[in-house]
Amino acid sequence: MRRTIPLWIMMALAAGPAQGSGGIAVEPGQWTITTSTEMSMMPEPQVQTYTECFEEAEFHPEDFHSKQETACEVSDAVIEGGTARWSFTCGSGEAAMRGQWEVNSDGDTLTGTGTMTGDFSGEAMKVTVRWKGEREGDCD
């Protein structure tokens, strides 16, 4: 699970727009993203920085979960200016994760927070992710 959370962020921005819905602007190009993941089962936050080439000019909440191994349902999606907020449920039964995400963009910078809760082998788990990104220039 630790590797998956930062990948959600990359996939959210790299995915194409959903049909029939608006999105928030994200300038295509080379981005540096830093994530901080706090998990109730880990003593210290995990911080990762990576670069990624984003080709799409819009971000849509539906895209955030489109490449997950388990099916995710997006609900309560609201897009206002440069901010997208939504709730989600991934998986079902005891393996379900539920949460909320918020992504803010002015085109060249990106910030976001997400909180997920679920059950992991009979123990309650809470995951909080914070990220920030900055466009560095054109893709190589």
Strands (E), the chain: 24-25, 29-39, 46-54, 58-59, 72-80, 83-90, 97-105, 109-120, 123-137
For residues 116 and 126, the answer to whether their CB atoms sit within 8 Å is yes
Tokens of 77: 């999606």
Q: How far apart are CA 79 and CA 102, in angstroms?
A: 10
If you average pLDDT over residues 35-47, what whole number do you get? 90
Dihedral of the CA atoms 6, 9, 13, 17 (nearest 10)?
130
What local confidence, expressed as pLDDT, does residue 90 receive?
Answer: 83
Tokens representing 67? 């490449």
For the ranges 11-15, 57-61, 73-77, 83-87, the one whose mean pLDDT is highest: 83-87
Quick one: pLDDT at residue 20? 35
pLDDT top residue among 83 and 24: 83
Q: Domain residues for 133?
A: 4-137
Q: What is the mean pLDDT of the chain?
A: 79
φ, ψ for residue 96, nearest 5 deg:
-70, 140
Alpha helices in 1-138 (DSSP H): 4-14, 61-64
Instruction: Give CA–CA dist 90/24, Å, rounded.
Output: 23
* CA distances (Å), origin 24, targets 93, 125, 138: 32, 30, 20
Instruction: Tell me what pLDDT residue 87 has.
Output: 92
Predicted TM-score (pTM) of the model is 0.73
Confidence of residue 108 (pLDDT cuts 50, 70, 90): very high
Domain total in the chain: 1
Best CA proximity match to 65, nearest among 82, 93, 81, 87: 87
